[in-house]
Amino acid sequence: MTDWAITASGLRKSYGDKTVLDHIDLAVAEGTIFSLLGPNGAGKTTAVKILSTLITADGGQARVAGHDLTTAPQAVRAAIGVTGQFSAVDGLITGEENMLLMADLHHLSRSEGRRTAAELLERFDLVEAAKKPASTYSGGMKRRLDIAMTLVGGPRIIFLDEPTTGLDPRSRHNMWQIIRELVTGGVTVFLTTQYLEEADELADRIAVLNDGKIAAEGTAEELKRLVPGGHVRLRFTDPVAYQYAASALREASRDDESLALQIPSDGTQRELRSILDWLDSAGIEADELTVHTPDLDDVFFALTDGADIPDQTNQPKEAAR
Ligand SMILES: Nc1ncnc2c1ncn2[C@@H]1O[C@H](COP(=O)(O)OP(=O)(O)OP(=O)(O)O)[C@@H](O)[C@H]1O
Ligand SMILES: [Mg+2]
């Protein structure tokens, strides 16, 4: 049986006559990374704020760390950490002082606070910078300090609202590593992002939020299967073998220059097996066979431009371009 860190059903939130969240259902298993993906204004931050008790929903229910959001917000708060979209770091004081402030807020004793701060500064590679004003930190350092501050109370569930927005590729990869380590330590991570690559890289499950509704939910692989573009590519080195295969596989699209054929495929094991069986029976042996699934960009654009998901027309992506 799955232990759920977060469950929500029918969450609603409006500002004036603008519906920001329109009956959202979510379930996040303990010790996993869940990513809420969506364009600007989709409602990601609003969802994080509701689930972390910073604001209240207009309707629906949610449980976080086993506690009901409306009847036990204090218990929820004690179990979670939140790194907001906009930094909570105070630039006027040093990184260490920011950490000690958090320790105070969590009612740690002086010695325990110092120990925790030192440990986290070390873990996030901020020892050298610890005595400098946080305003002098780079974006990546500030983000690391932000997360270190979030971890002071030892939360079991952490909310990271766009933790890598504005970071350079190296800092982003460092942040991914930090997030993975958190999960290895048993923490559940609720992550919002606009970067498909990030969700693809990190998340066990992804929900695409669009215009206040969950447009799709699943693993990265499941989501990629929702959009056309998947295909199996067969490449030949022998032109004669290529010509033979091309005439036998009429539904394949041809790339005469690189002696390659593309067969539309949803990338499932079942379909791959039937393609392989068919190639065997036709006596076709390619020198290279690769399976291409559409990437999350395809999914994102298909789901967030307001259009319905098209039928599985299975146009090979290259041919569609
Ligand atoms: N306090 C508020 N008052 C009025 N409208 C709000 C308020 N907070 C959010 N909104 C509106 O709700 C919608 C969703 O905002 P939200 O910040 O949740 O989006 P987001 O997905 O986090 O976007 P971004 O990627 O830009 O951070 C937006 O249209 C925003 O203008
Ligand atoms: Mg936001």
Question: Ligand 1: residues whose CB is within 6 Å?
Answer: 15, 20, 38, 40-46, 85, 194
Q: What is the pLDDT of residues 100-142, one digit of tens each?
A: 999 999 999 999 999 999 999 999 999 999 999 999 999 889 9
pLDDT at 146: 92
Q: Tell me the ligand closest to 209's alpha carbon.
A: 1
Q: What is the pLDDT of residues 151-197, one digit of tens each?
A: 999 999 999 999 988 888 888 898 899 999 999 999 999 999 988 88
Separation CA 90–CA 88 (nearest Å)? 6
Q: Any idea what the Cα angle at residue 172 is, between residues 167 and 173, rounded to 5°?
A: 160
Q: Tell me the ligand closest to 38's alpha carbon.
A: 1
Separation CA 284–CA 261 (nearest Å)? 12
**Percent of the chain with pLDDT strictly greater than 90:** 64
Separation CA 15–CA 17 (nearest Å)? 6
Please spell the DSSP secondary structure of 236-256, one letter per residue: -SSHHHHHHHHHH-TTSEEET
Average pLDDT for the chain: 88
Q: Whose CA is nearest to atom 16 of ligand 1?
A: 43
Using the predicted structure, report yes or no on whether residue 240 has a pLDDT greater than 60. Answer: yes
Ligand 1, residues 21, 46, 56: which to mutate, most atoms within 8 A of Cβ? 46
Q: What angle in degrees, to the nearest 10, is found between the helix axes of 95-105 and 110-123?
A: 130
Cα(129) to ligand 1 centroid in Å equals 34
Q: Mean per-residue pLDDT for 198-208?
A: 94
pLDDT at 306: 52
pLDDT at 192: 95
Ligand 1, residues 20, 194, 195: which to mutate, most atoms within 8 A of Cβ? 20
Q: Mean per-residue pLDDT for 84-93?
A: 87
pLDDT at 186: 93
**Following CA atoms 187, 214, 19, 160 in sequence, which dihedral angle do they give, to the nearest 10 degrees?**
20
Cα(41) to ligand 2 centroid in Å equals 7
pLDDT grade for 316, boundaries at 50, 70 and 90 = very low
Q: Which residue has the higher pLDDT, 249 or 66?
A: 66
- Which of these, 282, 283, 284, 293, lies nearest to 261 by C-alpha position? 284
Q: Tell me the ligand closest to 194's alpha carbon.
A: 1
